[in-house]
Amino acid sequence: MTFDDELKRSVKKVIVSERELKKAIKALGKKMTKDLEGEDLVVVGLLTGCIPFLPDLLKELKLKVLVNYIQASSYEGQESSGKVKIGGVLKESIVGKHVVLVDDIIDTGVTLKELSKYLYDNGAKKVTTCVLASKIGTRKVDFEADYKALEVPNEFVFGYGLDYDGYYRNLPYIAALKDELYK
- Which sequence positions are flagged as catalytic? 107
Strand partners for 176: 13, 157
Which backbone phi and psi does 161 adopt, to 5 degrees? 100, -30
How does DSSP assign 128-149, residue by residue? EEEEEEEETT--SSS---SEEE
- Residues sharing a CB contact under 8 Å with residue 65, sequence separation 6 or more, in sequence order: 41, 42, 43, 58, 100
- Residues sharing a CB contact under 8 Å with residue 123, sequence separation 6 or more, in sequence order: 93, 94, 95, 96, 97
